[in-house]
């Protein structure tokens, strides 16, 4: 019996998504586990992909007047308790520092689960006049939320990386307009760079961010039927401004509270992108975000090594704009090289051997379609951009089809259960009562309300759980 290699993935995506994803993260050298559960190491390959996403977001943010800064990760409990709804929402997830060395602290210090508390303390100091507005500050940092017993790298961890953008405006109109522009900026990055389609939708009162007036999130549908909550927009109104005394004097000398939004994108969405596109052979990276678009593998036959390597190096120089890798290791077989780079998701593999030199061509393997084509060396520089763009569009189209086909409607509990078992996102009529949401969740193995379906009117419809008039159609599904 031939023993199956453990170097590649040994579990299929469609059979056990979680185990498949964990193997993908570790074997493709994206992440590793730390000694503390729920905390992972982002290895250089993953961190470079994260940096490319971060740079793209920053580029869009600069167009919206966003400035980057950094605020402390520890803040005193007395500050944390100023906004009661916020405190209640985050209390179960907060990790506390209570002593240093052998000395107990006089006041507990919260380890940042989110930064409203510390940032708004300073906003209240810095904002005095309408001339100080708008204040639009973003920070890229890490947060700690002790909120899960089943951590999965990228999808659900106790520490993750993100941005948090906190704004302050003189008027509600300005605040809401800027919030919409931030949503568009995020969408540009997730759709155009990451090839991840999603649906922005408003949360129910029960599911909104603690302390917000309303919350909108982008929902990514994954191949295993679970929904990942991606970028977010929390309209906070004046709630935090009143709690943290963030006031300004207008041009007439009248004192007012500011209006605020908060926004975020995290490494969770990176996990969504990887889980969406990758397959049973390893990573599949959208070309626009891939750190290296091309890997060149010279086939080093005895007596022809020098000639093949020379041409391979010239190709590497010609394709410099695609950040190519040249794998000239002479101690690794071509087959193992092919498997390694397929596992790591390099979009295009260029193979070059003595016979190809005779024909002045190379063999190009497409990571998305698996297709191999022969291309003349002189045409590579012109044809590769076309192939990469086709790959990018194909990945988006596949993911969009998956999303569109996942969305269904149900008007009975029986149909809701049937569709949830079929791994769908299901729109149902519901009232806005918290008890009905809890009942729906308990009857459907933890499924929860995702976002309000604003395309359909609930007029004349009854709540599936209490029989009262429905307030809206709302999508329901399983989440991370």
pLDDT in tens, the chain (480 residues): 333 446 799 999 999 999 999 999 999 999 999 999 999 999 999 999 999 999 999 999 999 999 999 999 999 998 888 777 767 777 888 999 999 999 999 999 999 999 999 999 999 999 999 999 999 999 999 999 987 777 888 998 999 999 999 999 999 999 999 999 999 999 999 999 999 999 999 999 999 998 899 999 999 999 999 999 999 999 999 999 999 999 999 999 999 999 999 999 999 999 999 999 999 999 999 999 999 999 999 998 888 889 999 999 999 999 999 999 999 999 999 999 999 999 999 999 999 999 999 999 999 999 999 999 999 999 999 999 999 999 999 999 999 999 999 999 999 999 999 999 999 999 999 999 999 999 999 999 989 999 999 999 999 999 999 999 999 999 999 998
Contact of 447 with 440, CB cutoff 8 Å = yes
Q: What is the CA radius of gyration of the chain?
A: 26
Delimit the domains of the chain by residue range.
Answer: 17-277, 294-394, 407-479
Residue 454: alpha-carbon gap to chain centroid: 24
Would you state the structure tokens that stand for residue 419, as one six-digit string?
Answer: 């569709």
- Options 3.40.50.720, 1.10.40.30, 3.30.499.10, 3.40.50.800; which CATH number does 294-394 get? 3.40.50.800
Phi, psi for 74 (deg, rounded to 5)? -115, 140
**CA nearest neighbour of 190 among 264, 140, 138, 261:** 264
Phi, psi for 173 (deg, rounded to 5)? -60, -45
Burial string for 59-86 (b: 16+ CB within 10 Å, else e) reads ebbeeeebeeeebebebbeebbebbeeb
CATH superfamily label, 17-277: Bira Bifunctional Protein; Domain 2 (3.30.930.10)
Would you state the structure tokens that stand for residue 168, as one six-digit string?
Answer: 């302050």
Contact of 86 with 210, CB cutoff 8 Å = yes
CB within 8 Å of 95: residues ≥ 6 apart: 110, 111, 113, 144, 146
Q: How many CA atoms lie within 13 A of 9 on its CB side?
A: 28
- pLDDT for 243 equals 92
Return the number of other C-beta atoms located less than 10 Å from residue 29's C-beta: 15
**∠ Cα 73 265 398 (to 5°):** 155
Dihedral sign computed on CA atoms, order 155, 156, 160, 163 = positive
Helix 305-318 vs helix 380-406: crossing angle, to nearest 10: 70
Provide the 8-state DSSP code for 196. Answer: -
The Cα–Cα gap between 471 and 201 comes to: 16
Dihedral sign computed on CA atoms, order 380, 383, 386, 388 = negative
The Cα–Cα gap between 11 and 57 comes to: 34
pTM of the model: 0.94
Dihedral sign computed on CA atoms, order 284, 326, 339, 31 = negative
Return the number of other C-beta atoms located less than 10 Å from residue 180's C-beta: 13
Say what the alpha-carbon torsion angle 186, 189, 194, 196 is, to the nearest 10 degrees.
40
Say what the alpha-carbon torsion angle 18, 24, 29, 34 is, to the nearest 10 degrees.
10
The Cα–Cα gap between 272 and 254 comes to: 47
Helices and strands in the chain: count of H runs, count of E runs: 14, 23
Would you state the structure tokens that stand for residue 183, as one six-digit string?
Answer: 């949503």
CATH code that applies to domain 407-479: 3.30.110.30
């Amino acid at each position: 019996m031939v023993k199956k290699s453990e170097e590649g993935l040994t579990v299929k995506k469609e059979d056990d998504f979680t185990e498949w994803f964990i193997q993908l993260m570790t074997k493709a050298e994206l992440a590793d586990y730390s000694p503390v559960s729920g905390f992972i190491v982002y290895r250089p390959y993953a961190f470079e992909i994260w940096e490319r996403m971060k740079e793209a977001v920053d580029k869009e943010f600069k167009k919206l007047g966003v400035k980057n800064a950094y605020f402390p990760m520890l803040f005193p409990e007395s500050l944390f308790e100023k906004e009661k709804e916020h405190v209640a929402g985050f209390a179960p997830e907060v990790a506390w520092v209570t002593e240093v060395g052998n000395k107990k602290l006089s006041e507990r210090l919260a380890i940042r689960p989110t930064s409203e508390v510390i940032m708004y303390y300073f906003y209240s100091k810095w904002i005095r006049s309408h001339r100080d507005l708008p204040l639009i500050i973003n920070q890229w940092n890490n947060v700690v939320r002790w909120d899960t017993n089943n951590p999965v790298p990228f999808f659900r961890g106790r520490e993750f990386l993100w941005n948090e953008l906190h704004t302050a405006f003189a008027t509600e109109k300005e605040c809401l307009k800027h919030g919409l522009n931030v949503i568009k900026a995020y969408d540009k990055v997730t759709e155009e760079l990451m090839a991840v389609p999603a649906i922005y939708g408003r949360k129910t009162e029960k599911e909104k961010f603690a302390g917000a007036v309303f919350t909108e999130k982008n929902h990514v549908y994954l191949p295993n039927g679970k929904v990942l909550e991606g970028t977010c927009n929390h309209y906070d109104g004046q709630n935090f401004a009143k709690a943290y005394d963030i006031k300004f004097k207008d041009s007439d000398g009248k004192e007012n509270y500011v209006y605020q939004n908060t926004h975020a994108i995290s490494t969770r969405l990176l996990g969504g992108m990887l889980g969406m596109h990758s397959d049973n052979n390893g990573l599949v990276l959208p070309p626009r975000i891939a750190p290296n678009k091309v890997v060149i593998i010279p086939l080093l036959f005895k007596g022809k090594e020098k000639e093949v390597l020379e041409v391979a190096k010239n190709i590497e120089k010609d394709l410099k704009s695609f950040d190519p890798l040249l794998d000239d290791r002479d101690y690794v077989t071509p087959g193992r090289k092919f498997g390694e780079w397929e596992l790591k998701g390099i979009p295009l593999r260029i193979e070059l051997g003595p016979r190809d030199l005779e024909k002045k061509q190379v063999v190009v393997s497409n990571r998305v379609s698996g297709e191999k084509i022969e291309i003349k060396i002189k045409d590579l520089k012109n044809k590769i951009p076309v192939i990469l763009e086709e790959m990018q569009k194909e990945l988006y189209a596949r993911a969009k089809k998956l999303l569109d086909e996942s969305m269904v409607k149900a008007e009975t509990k029986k149909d809701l259960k049937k569709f949830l078992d079929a791994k769908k996102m299901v729109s149902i009529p519901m009232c806005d009562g918290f008890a009905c949401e809890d009942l729906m969740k308990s009857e459907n193995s933890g499924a929860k309300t995702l976002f309000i379906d604003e395309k359909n009117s609930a007029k004349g419809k009854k709540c599936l759980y209490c029989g009262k008039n429905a307030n809206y159609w709302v999508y329901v599904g399983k989440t991370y």
